[in-house]
Amino acid sequence: MTRRLAALAIAEPARLRLRLRGVVQGVGFRPFAYGLAKQMSLVGFVRNDADGVVVEIEGARANEFLAALEAGLPPLARLDAADVEALAPRGDQSFAILESQSGQTRARIPPDAAVCPACLDDLFNPASRFHLYPFVNCTHCGPRFTVARQLPYDRARTSMAAFPTCAACAADYRDAGNRRFHAETIACPDCGPRLSRGMAEIVGALRAGKIVALKGIGGYHLMCDAGNETSILELRRRKKRDAKPFAIMVANEASIGLFAEASAAERALLRHPAHPIVVMDSLRKLPEALAPRLGRIGVMLPYAPVHHLLFHEAAAGKRDASSEFAIVATSANPGGEPLITDDAEALAKLAGIADLIVTHDREIVTRADDSVMGVIDGAPSFIRRARGFVPEPADLGADGPVVLACGGHLKATITVTRGREAFVCQHIGDLSDAATFRFYEESARHLLFLLDVKPEAVACDLHPDYLSTRYAEATGLPLLRVQHHAAHIAAIGAEHQISGPLLGVALDGHGMGDDGEAWGGELMRLDGARFSRLGHLAPLALLGGDRAAREPWRMGLAALNAIGRLDEAKTLWRHLPEVSMVANHLRGARIVPQTTSMGRLFDAAAALLGICLRQDFEGQAAMELEALVRAPRALEDGYVIADGVLDFSPLLACLVTERPSPTTGADLFHGTLIEGLVNWIGSVARAGELVALGGGCMMNRILAEGLARGLRQGGFVPLLARAFPPNDGGLSLGQAAMARALLI
């Protein structure tokens, strides 16, 4: 935290003005400051303003106030900066919470937070007026970002403005000794939102094998009984989601061990105020249809009061006991569209999927999917960053121009910089869908409005056909086109506040290189807005363009071609009639597009091992290959490094010649990849150098941990993405960082 204190001799009793910035609105900061001032016998005031919070304090202990404030912040608050100014005493008689001041804002809306233990006690206390009320919250928990329309954060600027407080809630709001003192979303059964159906009906439907659409905090969930294979398969059929894994929600932490093997770090992540989905090793006690051919499962704890009420009803009123009742809880986004938040849209689009639609009358202002995380190399790592973490910014370490960065095409996000901060929006999705692109445009407008800034420049990907690129071009702002993999490395540099040159490797599925070719396995040195390509993976033929990413057998065919064994394709995949035609085309073509993609190399290996020939979702082949790993080991002479090119042809040839079992093949593939990458990076890295590890392949735990471990053993310092996803969800942050480096 930075702090500037005026160089004045302060006489006692002093009056100080504190301008506080950080997560200080909507988290109980003002009531906390009020209570602390009263406790220290100080007079003055506290109020929200456009920058954060202003406190003026006067009294004998005024100089102790800031330290006491920092020591006892409310659970969701964070203090990033405090400017302190000495004033002449005014002789106030009391301390007050004043009306908020508006204006050009530099304040933040805090993320949504899971219901706190104190509110859970109210929820299940028959003597409480919040007993069994599915919208109970206080200053320490509940919706924030998803209900806020603008700053400063006050009830009138949220969707709770539609619910005037009753006398009891108004009294709590004014009571300085109450946990709901100035809780902007306070509500109770007499004055707040209402659920359209009762718990008994909802749980009864789930128990009967029905599919339920339930409106939550950031959007609708589609739910079914996670122990009912028939229900799961029906949900897959109706949602047209053949294989992509579903996450489950369990009653409480005691229930996790019934379904998954959670490490201490994974349990701690589950308890984070965001309550994200956490991917962990499955005990395989639930139907295989939940996560077909995968050894891991996404688990989350209840985060909204309504979720706790579901499990309370299912347990016949028992609280805190472990329960074998688990619920599939997946985003309600039919056909790849954005998460549904609107009630009318839910009734229209979910009627063919859900047997029961449960809504409520509190508007969701901003949609936000559940965040998805895992623990990699001993620390949290994002797969999808959304509810509970957005709109927390990255600290870029220094002030700079306002930049709008438009991200990529898949897992799209938008970043807006303001001062020294970069705000990355929630996960948006695949921009191929028209509704998702509308959500993308809506998210850009909303983020710029909330931050109250006007961009000076816009950054985008090199690929001319990405809708994010076309959106950037249409702004009319000065435009910087950023190479995809340089942006991946820059995102990690931005997160870790690396300002100088940075060595990095970007391993992903696809990104356009500055030569117009498809890159994806790149070794680079980045310096501000410039990069140099030090090396890449040996290229493979990209047969069918984008189809190659959906049909791994095409990359298997490319691998056979690379090792001079194309004729063996008919034997390997005799049941695929297209193979002969594509192989003949490959033989006769004079020019075939090439790719250096690590993602496509995974696809090739999965096809050669017969693990996955067609993909239902992005990354399926690689995930199924990873799930088979038991003890990674490197194949002797399984790769070649020459002139900066890392060639795994010997490994691919072994998979064809030896025909190992899928498990043995997965072990050999991962072990050889790790050893080859470590030696490749080490061939250009300086002793003790930082090495950024970016790209979607860094979500593969075996690969990421093996690579990080090998680099440490070689005397290097690996940097992994922690606060933002290593995949394209973090791409816009890297674009923003590179654009600012060019403009400063």
Same domain, 240 and 92: no
Are residue 387 and residue 342 in the same domain, yes or no?
A: no
pLDDT at 320 over 80: no
CATH number, residue 422: 3.30.420.360
Least confident of 25-39, 60-74, 553-567: 25-39
Alpha carbon distance 585, 605 (integer Å)? 22
**What are the structure tokens assigned to 520, written together?**
């994806």
- Flag the least confident range among 180-194, 316-330, 464-478, 510-524: 316-330
Q: Residue 338: pLDDT above 60?
A: yes
According to the model, what pLDDT value does residue 3 have?
42
- The confidence score (pLDDT) of residue 104 equals 53
- Structure confidence at residue 105 as a pLDDT band (50, 70, 90): low
What is the CB neighbour count within 10 angstroms for residue 90? 10
Q: Cβ(489)–Cβ(694) under 8 Å?
A: yes
Look at residue 8 in the predicted model and tell me its pLDDT: 37
Report how many domains make up the chain: 4
Residues 352 and 465 in one domain: no
Q: What is the CATH classification number for the domain harbouring 46?
A: 3.30.70.100
At residue 76 the predicted structure's pLDDT band, cuts being 50, 70 and 90, is: confident
Q: Of 60, 76, 97, which residue is a domain's last?
A: 97
Q: What is the SS3 assignment for 290-321?
A: HCCCCCEEEEECCCCHHHHHHHHHHCCCCCCC
502-512 vs 690-694, strand pairing mode = parallel
**CATH number for the domain harbouring residue 644:** 3.30.420.40
Going by C-alpha positions, the residue among 703, 673, 737, 744 that lies closest to residue 531 is 737
- Do both 297 and 403 map to the same domain? no
Q: How confident is the model at residue 322 (pLDDT cuts 50, 70, 90)?
A: low
Residue 268: CB atoms within 10 Å: 13
DSSP assignment of 491-522, as one string? Answer: HHHHHTT--S-EEEEEEEEEEE-TTSSEEEEE
Is the pLDDT score of 584 beyond 90?
A: no
Residues 653-711 pLDDT 10s: 999 999 999 999 999 999 999 999 999 999 999 999 999 999 999 999 999 999 999 99
State the average pLDDT over residues 142-157.
90
16-20, 148-152, 326-330: least confidently modelled range = 148-152
Query: Do 205 and 337 have their domain in common?
Result: yes
With a cut of 50, say whether residue 7 has pLDDT above it: no
Nearest 10 degrees: CA dihedral of 614, 615, 620, 626? Answer: 10
Query: Per-residue pLDDT for 80 more than 90?
Result: no
Distance CA 293, CA 284 (A): 11
Q: Domain containing 594: what range?
A: 535-720
Which CATH number belongs to the domain containing residue 370 in this structure? 3.90.870.10
321 and 209 in a single domain? The answer is yes
Q: Are residues 219 and 356 in the same domain?
A: yes
Q: With 0-12 CB in 10 A as exposed, 13-18 as middle and 19+ as buried, what is 78?
A: middle
Provide the pLDDT for residue 2: 42
Q: 442 and 383 share a domain?
A: yes
Confidence (pTM):
0.93
Task: Establish if 499 belongs to a structural domain.
Answer: no
**Lookup: tokens for 576:** 């695929």
pLDDT in tens, 599-652: 999 999 999 999 999 999 999 999 999 999 999 999 999 999 999 999 999 999
Please report whether residue 457 resides in a domain.
yes
The confidence score (pLDDT) of residue 724 equals: 98
Can you tell me the mean pLDDT for 463-484? 97
Looking at the chain, the whole-number percentage of residues with pLDDT higher than 70 is 97
Question: Are 348 and 387 part of one and the same domain?
Answer: no
pLDDT tens by residue, 548-563: 999 999 999 999 999 9
Specify whether 437 is located in the same domain as 549. no
Instruction: Determine, yes or no, domain membership for 509.
Output: no
Judge if 703 and 729 occupy the same domain. no
Q: Kindly report which listed range (67-81, 529-543, 721-735) carries the lowest average pLDDT score.
A: 67-81
* Band (442; pLDDT cuts 50, 70, 90): very high
- Please indicate, yes or no, if residue 663 is contained in any of the structural domains: yes
Average pLDDT, the chain: 93
Q: Is residue 505 part of a domain?
A: no
What is the longest distance spanned by two Cα atoms in the chain? Answer: 92
- Res. 126 pLDDT band, cuts 50 70 90: very high
Count Cβ atoms within 10 A of the Cβ of residue 334 and give its class: 0-12 exposed, 13-18 middle, 19 or more buried. middle
Give the per-residue pLDDT at 152.
77
Is residue 15 situated within a structural domain? yes
Q: Which of 63, 97, 131 is the last residue of a domain?
A: 97
pLDDT at 12: 52
pLDDT of residue 27: 83
More confident position, 14 or 59: 59
| Cα–Cα separations (whole angstroms), residue 580 to 139, 557, 570, 694 | 65, 10, 7, 36
Q: What is the pLDDT of residue 101?
A: 72
**In this predicted model, what pLDDT tens digit does every residue of 242-276 receive, in sequence order?**
999 999 999 999 999 999 999 999 999 999 999 99
* Boundary-marking domain end, from 357, 374, 391: 374
383 and 289 within one domain: no
pLDDT computed for residue 609 by the predictor: 97
